[in-house]
Amino acid sequence: MTVSFLDVGASYRELREQIDAAYARVMSSGRYVGGEEVEAFEREFAAFCGTRQAIGVGNGLDALTIALRARGIGAGDEVIVPAHTFIATWLAVARAGATIVPVDADPQTLLIDVQAVGDAVTPRTAAIIPVHLYGAPVDMDAVATIAAQRGILLLGDAAQAHGARLGARDVGALGDVAAFSFYPAKNAGAFGDAGALTTDDSSLAARARGLRNYGASAPYRFAEPGLNSRLDPLQAAFLRVKLAALSRWNERRRAIAHTYRTQLRAVPDLILPPAAPPGTQPVWHLFCVRHHRRDGLADHLARSGVATQIHYPQPPHRSEAFADLGFAPGSFPVTEAAADTLLSLPIGPHLDDAAVQAVVEAVQTFATA
């Protein structure tokens, strides 16, 4: 059996009738920028996340950037970010003109180390961006305690965590504002780039709406230099269809993760992602294992017909993009060890039981290969 890493076209095949109807509805409307589909999605996504406001934007990076700028964060400010994250988290801080202050990952969860966050705060700290990496919610209550003491913006990067919950709260409702990406491979993926912010802060939301539209405060009146980052009505219409299926799709991801955790726990030298802490509900955007012979495991799985990926082989501080920040090798040891040992196994709502079992058996046989 051949097992792809993720079948991004499966959602269209499942929802073809509704997706095609959404396409026809937008094309017949004559509204190809903004309009009712975008407004409807914003209402529905805010309700899904349990927030008063959702602001659709062009992509996840813009969502993070606009959130920072909407709070007036820029030159002279420091923003605390995880060292272990996709580079977009760092890029948003750079685009806002603020100073990137990375902290290492927790060695068990690989999420941002909350203790390290507290140690990194200075009088110049203006924002903290915890990342709900791989679909696992960060302990935002602990970070919120740190942020509240100094009036620091708490911006959740929820690009990989659509529908994840901490207790009774969706990740979109944690902190001051949350940023989402709807890149096609996400749990709720568009058929192109798209993003959104969620917040209860009406003033932040109003400024974000202006910033996404060239900085406009009214038609042809521009309060500040903004972006052209508007959620496309077609993508909004598609996302409305997918939002109705998201909770069911996330349940399937959780079931696959449970199978992996149950059947792979005895594989020698394989480190599984930790179980969710009580009261949390991850959505398993990725299922990342660790092995000191990661490349050998990946090669073995490929020969067995199982596709894998590495998230992420190069931490931002070791990239050429941020070489000027001067972080030496070993600056963030947990993050660097993760980059050398992590391997993402196939997981997705359309992965059937036979494919899941093929992945399990391929991993199990690596120990004897």
81-108 confidence digits (pLDDT tens) = 999 999 999 999 999 999 999 999 999 9
Query: Residue 225: its pLDDT value, please?
Result: 96
Query: Residue 195: its pLDDT value, please?
Result: 98
Query: Residue 307: its pLDDT value, please?
Result: 98
**Alpha carbon of 280 to those of 65, 154, 168, 250, 275: distances in Å?**
27, 19, 9, 14, 10
The continuous run of DSSP H or E covering 323 comes out as: none
DSSP letters of 155-214? EEE-TT-TT-EETTEEGGGSSSEEEEE--TTSTT--SS--EEEEES-HHHHHHHHHHHBT
The total number of residues written for the chain in this structure:
369
Collapsing DSSP to helix, strand or coil, 28 comes out as: helix
Query: Residue 190: its pLDDT value, please?
Result: 98
Q: Which CATH number fits domain 10-240: 3.40.50.300, 3.40.640.10, 3.60.9.10, 3.40.50.10600?
A: 3.40.640.10
250-272 confidence digits (pLDDT tens) = 999 999 999 999 999 999 999 99
Output 351-358 pairs: Cβ under 8 A, ≥24 positions apart: 351/3, 351/7, 351/252, 351/256, 354/1, 355/1, 355/3, 356/256, 356/259, 356/260, 358/1, 358/3, 358/304, 358/305, 358/306
Query: Residue 367: its pLDDT value, please?
Result: 81
Q: How far is Cα 138 from Cα 346, in angstroms, rounded to an integer?
A: 23
Query: Residue 102: its pLDDT value, please?
Result: 98
Query: Residue 279: its pLDDT value, please?
Result: 86
Neighbours of 32 (CB within 10 A): 12
Beta strands in 190-273 (DSSP E): 195-199, 216-218, 221-222
Neighbours of 43 (CB within 10 A): 13
Collapsing DSSP to helix, strand or coil, 321 comes out as: helix
Query: Residue 368: its pLDDT value, please?
Result: 78
Q: How far is Cα 330 from Cα 322, in angstroms, rounded to an integer?
A: 15
Residue for token pair 């802490």: 277
- Could you tell me the end-to-end alpha-carbon distance of the chain, in angstroms, rounded to an integer? 18
In the chain, the largest separation of any two C-alpha atoms, in whole Å, equals: 68
pLDDT per residue as tens, the chain (369 positions) = 899 999 999 999 999 999 999 999 999 999 999 999 999 999 999 999 999 999 999 999 999 999 999 999 999 999 999 999 999 999 999 999 999 999 999 999 999 999 999 999 999 999 999 999 999 999 999 999 999 989 999 999 999 999 999 999 999 999 999 999 999 999 999 999 999 999 999 999 999 999 999 999 999 999 999 999 999 999 999 999 999 999 999 999 999 999 999 999 999 999 999 998 888 999 999 999 999 999 999 999 999 999 999 999 999 999 999 999 999 999 999 999 999 999 999 999 999 999 999 999 999 999 877
133-169 confidence digits (pLDDT tens) = 999 999 999 999 999 989 999 999 999 999 999 999 9
List, by residue range, all CATH 3.90.1150.10 domains of the chain: 246-366
**Alpha carbon of 58 to those of 195, 230, 242, 332: distances in Å?**
5, 5, 18, 32
List, by residue range, all CATH 3.40.640.10 domains of the chain: 10-240
Query: Residue 90: its pLDDT value, please?
Result: 98
**Alpha carbon of 304 to those of 8, 11, 26, 301: distances in Å?**
21, 26, 44, 5
Quick one: CATH architecture of 246-366? Answer: Alpha-Beta Complex (3.90)
- Of the candidates 186, 170, 167, which has an alpha carbon nearest to the alpha carbon of residue 178? 170
CA dihedral 164, 262, 291, 180 (to 10 degrees): -10
